[in-house]
Amino acid sequence: VADSLAYPGRQNAPPPRSSPVMSTVLPGAPSPRAPPAGKHPREPVALGVPLPGLPPQKGMQYGDCVNNQASSAPTPLSSASDDEEEEEDEEAGVDSSSTTSSASPVPNSYDALEGGGYPDVHSSSASSPAPDHAPEPDPAPAAPLSAKVMAKPFGHGYPTLQPGYQTTAAPPSAGTFAQYPQQHPGVNQLSSALGGLSLQSSPQPESLRPINLTQERDVLPATPVWAPVPNLNLDLRKLNCSPDSFRCTLTSIPQTQALLNKAKLPLGLLLHPFRDLTQLPVITSNTIVRCRSCRTYINPFVSFIDQRRWKCNLCYRVNDVPEEFMYNPLTRSYGEPHKRPEVQNSTVEFIASSDYMLRPPQPAVYLFVLDVSHNAMEAGYLAVLCQSLLENLDKLPGDSRTRIGFMTFDSTIHFYNLQEGFSQPQMLIVSDIDDVFLPTPDGLLVNLYESRELIKVLLNALPNMFTSTRETHSALGPALQAAFKLMSPTGGRVSVFQTQLPSLGAGLLQSREDPNQRSSTKVVQHLGPATDFYKKLALDCSGQQTAVDLFLLSSQYSDLSSLACMSRYSAGCIYYYPSFHCTHNPSQMEKLQKDLKRYLTRKIGFEAVMRIRCTKGLSMHTFHGNFFVRSTDLLSLANINPDAGFAVQLSIEESLTDTSLVCFQTALLYTSSKGERRIRVHTLCLPVVSSLAEVHAGADVQAAICLLANMAVDRSISSSLSDARDALVNAVVDSLSAYGSTVSNLRHSGLMAPASLKLFPLYVLALLKQKAFRTGTSTRLDDRVYAMCQIKSQPLVHLMRMIHPNLHRIDRLTDEGAIHVNDRVVPQPPLQKLSAEKLTREGAFLMDCGSVFYIWIGKDCDSNFIEDVLGFPNFASIPQKMTHLPELDTLASERTRSFLTWLQDSRPLSPVLHVVKDESPAKMEFFQHLVEDRTEAAFSYYEFLLHVQQQISK
């Protein structure tokens, strides 16, 4: 068929066949368009549209999809072979259906994309992000930096466009642009926040303005810090990937490694590839267009040499445009490959064909491995879990093939046969923990829908089954081995709930923590695993596409550093609830409830691999996150969840002098919970610069801090904590002294930093005072290790809040500068610096630490506020433990709650709220986050600056 398609518009096309993929069109989306007759032989049959309004937790974009039953006899994967480069050949098949976003913007003027005209440097540094001023393309590409920059290898050169093709263009009018910002939620506020900044254009870019840190008292801006916008021309900027998904520590890539070494800044990427997106173009097409040599997916930054050829932006190979790609399902026109959604959006998702499968897509399989020893019963988590599971059983992502299973363990392992047809769940006990076996070949993992009643019976019975247990031992290792055996035919997700140190069988651990060493300033030991058992188990699991998620609910030391290995290398996630108790610690219990709700219902991808590609000359150096690295640029992820973040260190291997732009592309191939193979592709484009000043101007301080934190975790495990701390301080000293040497003409009275890096010392100080890296303050080893695990696996936004919490004064909320979200007015109180000097006794302050909110109430706090918001007559009557704000019918209460809800909605795991009175003992918890203040063991911010300055002048 493919050969006969040489000509567009030929009338000899076969009638369109019915598509294998039927996409339901959901309400609110444009109705499916009728295929234009005779225009193109392979017609898009069903045009589904990703629904913009879908709640992010919802597993899938589609209500209906292919139900691939072929997986009834799944074969285990050979771990070596599951690669997205499964099939080299990508010939067009016979059937094709295209599902594309209706909201893909199509700029009217493509010429604007072509040139390399940099917008004015001055306005670009901190100016508002692209999507918002979409409608007006940069009228005149102003003052390019140099002639060299003009010569761009990228962009859409379209010299030979035939007039006939142009007429069909009919770009959706400007109205489509209005939809564009939806793709980047949160950018609305971003631009308004930055709008003010870009006004003050000085002779040099704002981000390069030298700041004397020792004299400038308030470096922290009043509004949240947003990602710097790469110095690209407006059209490329508009097309670029959202900084929420993809960020680089340097938004201007230095030309050579030598220049990078001179700048002394870390170069790397921060990724959040599987983020919940409100709008995502989903493309169903038989031909996924990729570069023939480097396998890059076609993206907005490729250049079309002429009608039928495109040049890869990563390896510069010239490729043919496949016939199918010439047809644009969006505009229903032929001959405009540059207007396809793949070329219009830097974040797209492809429905992959069978070329991308090594076995039929696996069903969603969930196994729960539960500790039921005496300790666990005492903590009482089981009731919370079972209740939560019962509530969310229908919301577990999956299709009709979804399977679920349960195992419990103490000194023996208990299996539950839930085969439909039984009247009661059957409990099977295996006491031979030295040689674990599965007591029955089937019935342990059952279909969720067929055995629903039995599962409900079991979940109702489980919390009471072991209440009188006297068994104190925990055979976690053997239970995990059994779980691995159970899961290995299919792969899936294992959720382990553990409440103590494993004490029996393989993988048993001893207590290694010396409580007297908790506040030691010298050496912190035992940050690495005690045994390789969990590492090896994770490797085996990863090979069988099984991820292990660990919930550690423990009041004593449980050697998280060893246990965490099972999740870290199998791409799982780790949750830790220190001193969990269902009645004595209600806030932890509430947190577990909320976390479980999110955990059980969030989107999940199975048998995933992620490949990161970058322009020739750059190379991946080290990866950070939870995964197994399978080759130099391929991460094997048994599961992928929307809350997982990754970091990559980069190095510049060859000089980038012959290019002015570099691109990074991550491709995440996964099986959705509905059994579809999908590929999510993000592409980021950044300019290359040749001068140190430009490198400094483009530095993204938050990304740099997150990357440094990841590197410091590695360093503290492989070397020592004090080494890692030194390295962090050196990072500041080196980068600021590198900057100092470039501005030597200025007076050297203080500590100079470019505006882009003005927060660098503050953030590093915050990092040094973070649980993971602090010394001198009493820190439990498990807490420390958990903080390190979080640093490794959290995406940037959440990590930043953990490192440097946001402090707001909330007793005088006004509508000034408020934003409107879903008809609600959300006040935006300014950020305060994290110092006790800001805490006036007359005020009330909210501290947002990511997973915890603290509301600090001053002693002389306005009694109106206490009455209107907290619902108590005066300060004295506020209880010591308060974790909720009452719903009062006052303006102040409404404002406070709407602000809190808005903050809560912005993160996946709902945080716990603590109301802290000025005198209560809990205030220490709050005060330890005030990083600018001096503690017995650590510098204040000013002292730290002086220390850095001293180091520089040495």
Partner 1 sequence: MAFTFAAFCYMLALVLCAALIFFAIWHIIAFDELRTDFKNPIDQCNPVHALVLPEYSIHSLFCVMFLCAQEWLTLGLNVPLLFYHFWRYFHCPADGPELAYDPLVVMNADTLSYCQKEAWCKLAFYLLSFFYYLYCMISALVSS
User: Which residue, 82 or 595, has its beta carbon nearer to partner 1?
Assistant: 82
- Which residue among 142, 211, 428, 530 contacts partner 1 (CB under 8 A)? 530
User: Which residue, 630 or 774, has its beta carbon nearer to partner 1?
Assistant: 630
Closest CB 610 distance from partner 1, rounded Å = 14
Closest CB 77 distance from partner 1, rounded Å = 11
Identify residues 630-649 at the interface with partner 1 (CB under 8 A). 630-632, 634
User: Which residue, 325 or 628, has its beta carbon nearer to partner 1?
Assistant: 628
User: Which residue, 314 or 755, has its beta carbon nearer to partner 1?
Assistant: 314
**Residue in 413, 635, 599, 404 with CA at minimum distance from that of residue 505:** 413
- Which residue among 53, 528, 586, 879 contacts partner 1 (CB under 8 A)? 528
> Does 629 help bind partner 1 (rule: CB under 8 A)?
yes
Cα dihedral 158, 159, 160, 162, rounded to 10, equals 70
Closest CB 668 distance from partner 1, rounded Å = 18
Give the binding range for partner 1 (CB under 8 A) out of 400-408, 624-632, 796-804, 916-924.
624-632
Give the binding range for partner 1 (CB under 8 A) out of 109-117, 141-149, 338-346, 625-633.
625-633
> Does 935 help bind partner 1 (rule: CB under 8 A)?
no
How many chain residues touch partner 1 (CB under 8 A)?
A: 24
Please provide the size of the chain in residues: 954
User: Which residue, 558 or 672, has its beta carbon nearer to partner 1?
Assistant: 558
> Does 505 help bind partner 1 (rule: CB under 8 A)?
no
User: Which residue, 260 or 797, has its beta carbon nearer to partner 1?
Assistant: 260
- Which residue among 21, 121, 352, 620 contacts partner 1 (CB under 8 A)? 620
Closest CB 663 distance from partner 1, rounded Å = 21
Q: Which segments of 399-445 does DSSP mark as H helices, in order? A: none
Query: What residues have CB less than 8 Å from 264, skipping those under 6 apart?
Result: 731, 734, 735, 737, 738
> Are the beta carbons of 424 and 457 closer than 8 angstroms?
yes
Question: With 0-12 CB in 10 A as exposed, 13-18 as middle and 19+ as buried, what is 199?
Answer: exposed
Strand partners, 926: none
Give the binding range for partner 1 (CB under 8 A) out of 317-325, 449-457, 523-531, 768-776.
523-531
Closest CB 699 distance from partner 1, rounded Å = 23
Give the binding range for partner 1 (CB under 8 A) out of 205-213, 527-535, 680-688, 828-836.
527-535
- Which residue among 212, 503, 622, 928 contacts partner 1 (CB under 8 A)? 622
DSSP string across 209-236: -EEETTT-S--S-SS---PPPPS--HHH
> Are the beta carbons of 572 and 550 closer than 8 angstroms?
yes
Q: Which amino acid is at 313?
A: N
> Does 652 help bind partner 1 (rule: CB under 8 A)?
no
> Does 532 help bind partner 1 (rule: CB under 8 A)?
yes
Please give the Cα distance from 280 to 345 (Å, whole number). 9
Going by the DSSP 8-state scheme, the letter that residue 838 receives in this structure is: G
- Written as six digits, the tokens of 44 are 């898009």
Give the binding range for partner 1 (CB under 8 A) out of 146-154, 319-327, 575-583, 614-622.
614-622
Closest CB 636 distance from partner 1, rounded Å = 9
User: Which residue, 403 or 630, has its beta carbon nearer to partner 1?
Assistant: 630
Give the binding range for partner 1 (CB under 8 A) out of 16-24, 619-627, 656-664, 777-785.
619-627
Closest CB 619 distance from partner 1, rounded Å = 7
- Which residue among 539, 573, 600, 789 contacts partner 1 (CB under 8 A)? 539
User: Which residue, 226 or 628, has its beta carbon nearer to partner 1?
Assistant: 628
Mask for 56-95, x = binds partner 1 (CB under 8 A): -----------------------xx---------------
Please give the Cα distance from 813 to 896 (Å, whole number). 7
User: Which residue, 600 or 620, has its beta carbon nearer to partner 1?
Assistant: 620
Please give the Cα distance from 772 to 788 (Å, whole number). 5
User: Which residue, 215 or 651, has its beta carbon nearer to partner 1?
Assistant: 651
- Which residue among 301, 533, 875, 899 contacts partner 1 (CB under 8 A)? 533
Please give the Cα distance from 185 to 242 (Å, whole number). 9
| Torsions phi, psi for 773 (to 5 deg) | -115, 0
Closest CB 621 distance from partner 1, rounded Å = 4
Closest CB 542 distance from partner 1, rounded Å = 8
**Alpha carbon of 190 to those of 47, 151, 279, 513, 800: distances in Å?**
33, 31, 18, 45, 16
> Does 605 help bind partner 1 (rule: CB under 8 A)?
no
| C-alpha torsion sign, points 733, 736, 737, 738 | positive
- Written as six digits, the tokens of 476 are 């976690």
Cα angle 276-64-398, degrees, rounded to a multiple of 5: 60
Please give the Cα distance from 618 to 93 (Å, whole number). 35
> Does 491 help bind partner 1 (rule: CB under 8 A)?
no
User: Which residue, 632 or 840, has its beta carbon nearer to partner 1?
Assistant: 632
Mask for 540-559, x = binds partner 1 (CB under 8 A): ---x----------------
Please give the Cα distance from 844 to 896 (Å, whole number). 11
User: Which residue, 402 or 562, has its beta carbon nearer to partner 1?
Assistant: 562
Mask for 120-159, x = binds partner 1 (CB under 8 A): ----------------------------------------
Q: Which segments of 111-174 does DSSP mark as H helices, in order? A: 111-114, 121-124, 147-150, 163-167
- Written as six digits, the tokens of 229 are 């916008």
> Are the beta carbons of 712 and 727 closer than 8 angstroms?
yes
Please give the Cα distance from 802 to 892 (Å, whole number). 28
Burial code (b: 16+ CB inside 10 Å, e: under 16) for 471-503 equals bebbbbbbbbbbbbebbbebbbbbbbbbbbbbb
Radius of gyration of the CA atoms of the chain, in A: 28
Closest CB 193 distance from partner 1, rounded Å = 37
Please give the Cα distance from 318 to 303 (Å, whole number). 9
Closest CB 352 distance from partner 1, rounded Å = 20
Identify residues 863-922 at the interface with partner 1 (CB under 8 A). none
> Does 488 help bind partner 1 (rule: CB under 8 A)?
no
DSSP string across 618-669: EEEEEEESSSEEEETTEEEEEEE-TT--EEEEEEE-S--TT-SEEEEEEEEE
Give the binding range for partner 1 (CB under 8 A) out of 149-157, 322-330, 525-533, 656-664.
525-533
Q: Which amino acid is at 729?
A: V
Identify residues 687-746 at the interface with partner 1 (CB under 8 A). none
Q: Which amino acid is at 760?
A: F
User: Which residue, 648 or 952, has its beta carbon nearer to partner 1?
Assistant: 648
- Written as six digits, the tokens of 562 are 């060893």
- Written as six digits, the tokens of 742 are 């470039």
Give the binding range for partner 1 (CB under 8 A) out of 100-108, 345-353, 486-494, 628-636.
628-636
Closest CB 28 distance from partner 1, rounded Å = 44
Contact positions vs partner 1 (CB under 8 A): 79-80, 528-533, 535, 539, 543, 569, 619-623, 628-632, 634, 651
